[in-house]
Amino acid sequence: MDHHNDNPLTNKVIILIRFVILFLSLGCSYTFAETNYRKEIEKFAESLIFAKYESLYEHNNNEKLHIKVAPLDKRLTFTPCVSDLTGEIVGNKLKKNTSVKVTCPDPKKWTTYVRARVQLLLPSIVTRQPLSKGQTLRLENIKLMYVEKSQVRSGSFSEVYPLIGTRLKRNLSANKIIKDRDICFVCKNDKVTIHAIKNGLSIKASGIAQSDANIGGTVRVKNSRTQRIIVGTVSALKEVQVSF
């Protein structure tokens, strides 16, 4: 025997529950669509910034462009644009804090502004931890890190391996950019190899450095065998070249 629930109150509750579920699901879909469209606007602004960068700078494989777009206010609602979005960078130049004006040219026109933090990053060799004067640089205590271009000065390094074996001339804190003035490829009192070149012949000798110098710099070296002081050019780590 079938039992039918003919209670009018129960039926009304069931109908109300179904309506609430339907309303919530529609609300979620609407919110999801809104969020997605805001993301689309943000991505469009980001693409304009990238295009501007490409037009302004020569492509450099070492450089990285980092764009962090500030999310649009969730309270803002946008009617999806039937036409293609148009946009322009405010002030027509890239800055650390760049604004992009985004417009929908539909009959029901709307405009919004997208803010972004723009950083041009360059590879630099930095310390992994605090290092002391006289310490030798090794893979364990230095690393490559991308830093803002404005922080990179001349005399910094973009590759790790050329620095391996060099020594520090001063104390450096962690994550400090290493510059040529901070290190020596040949340090005072180092035992160095002297390459003496004459008429195409190369003769090797050992000596003791009398001062600090880096590659391309001149250094005074005392020949260990003759005790004679000679002046040469640093050609590599603990190597000095002398021409006669």
Q: 40-94, pLDDT tens digit by residue?
A: 999 999 999 999 888 877 666 678 889 999 999 988 888 899 999 999 999 988 8
d(CA 66, CA 50): 9
Range with top average pLDDT, 22-31, 47-56, 94-103: 94-103
pLDDT of the residue at 13: 54
Q: What pLDDT is recorded for position 10?
A: 62
Q: How confident is the model at residue 2 (pLDDT cuts 50, 70, 90)?
A: very low
Q: What is the pLDDT of residue 118?
A: 92
Runs of H (alpha helix) within 69-145: none
The answer to whether 86 and 103 are in contact (CB under 8 A) is yes
Phi/psi at 225 (5° precision): -85, -45
Which position has the higher pLDDT, 181 or 33? 181
The model's confidence at residue 26, banded by pLDDT at 50, 70 and 90, is very low
pLDDT for 7 equals 60
* 36: confidence class by pLDDT, cuts 50, 70, 90: confident
For residue 29, is pLDDT > 70? no
- Is 156:125 a contact under the CB 8 Å cutoff? yes
For 143-178, the pLDDT digits (tens) are 999 998 888 888 899 999 999 999 999 999 999 999
pLDDT-based confidence at residue 1 (cuts at 50, 70, 90) = very low
Which of 27-31, 183-187, 193-197, 208-212 is predicted with the least confidence, judged by mean pLDDT? 27-31
Q: What pLDDT is attached to residue 8?
A: 57
DSSP state, residue 11: H
pLDDT digits (tens, 9 = 90+) for 106-144: 999 999 999 999 998 999 999 999 999 999 999 999 999
How far is residue 134 CA from its own chain's centroid?
Answer: 29
**Domains in the chain with CATH codes:** 9-120 (no CATH), 130-183 (no CATH), 191-243 (2.30.30.760)
Q: Residues 169, 185: contact at Cβ < 8 Å?
A: no
- Dist. CA 77–CA 33, nearest whole Å: 11
Closest among 220, 212, 216 to 235, alpha carbons compared: 216
